[in-house]
Amino acid sequence: MKESIGKVPGLAVILVGQRRDSQTYVRNKIKACEEAGIKSLMTELPEDCTEDKILSALSSFNENPSIHGILVQLPLPKHLDEEKILNMVSLEKDVDGFNPLNMGNLAMRGREPVFIPCTAKGCIELLLRSGVEIMGKKAVVIGRSNIAGLPTSLLLQRHHATVSILHALSKNPDQITRQADIVVTAVGVPNLVRGHWLKPGAVVIDVGTYPIEDPSSEFGYRLIGDVCYEEALGVASAVTPVPGGVGPMTIAMLLSNTLDSAKRVYDIT
């Protein structure tokens, strides 16, 4: 019998407000935890809750020895100070990697973050497991948000890609993407990346998800990505689908970070 039996990884999730997309993502994360044998603890707070309420929930999770990972679902309602809240998540339990200190360590040479943000880690994992070489390759990341674009560009850089970052004010984005071996897009604009934006043989990772009405689907909507999938398939060597691509990888990396955190606490290698 394994020594680790009885030592169960624990994840605490804080969800503030009633956003339908956030509720879906959190539900998916909790379901994945159950399937993997990770104990999850969910705190739901109303849209108008005070910052103190969240900080005190975080403080109790930081102290709780059976919680190894803490996740504050983003975005938070406007009246809350996101930086202050994320700063409160203990570095050792920051399985989302969104504590500014973790993010800073991801950006700085010679430093190691305790955890790498899940979407970025999921994108790199997809590349590595598909045998796509990153070192020395030209990568373009479209989008520079703290949650997706920025950490992905930093992580590609850590893997020695030559990285360009495109954003809403970039001019002639297609000319830049056409030079790229790897294109990661995290914008949320459907069909932004067309077939002619791509170099033949490029690898395309589509992080974007945009809900469109679809009465025939279970929840009345379905998700589409940033990439014009059919066009891209005709030019690229590989394209990740939406749904069923980066989304599930993000969740898998959350579980992986939570497990790593628990192993560290229980001193299991």
- Note the Cα 23 to chain centre separation in Å: 16
Kindly state whether residue 148 participates in binding ligand NDP, applying the rule CB under 6 A. yes
Q: Could you identify the residue written with the tokens 């979407």? A: 119
Backbone angles phi, psi at 238, to 5 degrees: -155, 140
Binding site partner of 120, from ligand GUE, ligand NDP, none, Cβ cut-off 5-8 A by kind: none
Q: Tell me if residue 29 is catalytic.
A: yes
Kindly state whether residue 229 participates in binding ligand GUE, applying the rule CB under 6 A. no
Residue 200 gets the label, from left (phi > 0), alpha (psi -120 to 50) or beta, of beta
Kindly state whether residue 211 participates in binding ligand NDP, applying the rule CB under 6 A. no
- In the complex, minimum distance from the CB of residue 211 to ligand GUE, in angstroms, rounded to a whole number: 8
Kindly state whether residue 151 participates in binding ligand NDP, applying the rule CB under 6 A. no
Kindly state whether residue 246 participates in binding ligand NDP, applying the rule CB under 6 A. yes
Strand locations in the chain (E): 10-16, 39-45, 69-72, 138-142, 162-166, 182-185, 203-206, 210-213, 221-224, 238-239
Q: Which amino acid is at 5?
A: I
For residues 47 to 76, the per-residue mask of contacts with ligand GUE, x marking binding by CB under 6 A and - elsewhere, is: ------------------------xxxx--
Q: Which amino acid is at 263?
A: K
- Note the Cα 114 to chain centre separation in Å: 15
- In the complex, minimum distance from the CB of residue 229 to ligand NDP, in angstroms, rounded to a whole number: 15
Q: Strand, helix or coil at 243? A: coil
Q: Burial code of 30-63, b = ≥16 C-beta within 10 A, e = fewer?
A: bebbeebebbbbbbebeeebeeeebeebbeebbe
Of the candidates 242, 255, 259, 262, which one interacts with ligand GUE according to CB under 6 A? 242
Residue 16 gets the label, from left (phi > 0), alpha (psi -120 to 50) or beta, of beta
Kindly state whether residue 190 participates in binding ligand NDP, applying the rule CB under 6 A. no
Q: Tell me if residue 31 is catalytic.
A: no
Q: Tell me if residue 73 is catalytic.
A: yes
Of the candidates 247, 255, 258, 261, which one interacts with ligand GUE according to CB under 6 A? 247
Q: Which one of the listed residues 21, 52, 78, 96 is annotated catalytic?
A: 96
Kindly state whether residue 147 participates in binding ligand NDP, applying the rule CB under 6 A. yes
Kindly state whether residue 168 participates in binding ligand NDP, applying the rule CB under 6 A. yes
Kindly state whether residue 248 participates in binding ligand GUE, applying the rule CB under 6 A. yes
Cite the active site residues. 29, 73, 96
- Footprint of ligand GUE (CB under 6 A): 24-25, 28, 71-74, 96, 118, 147, 209, 223, 242-244, 247-248, 250-251
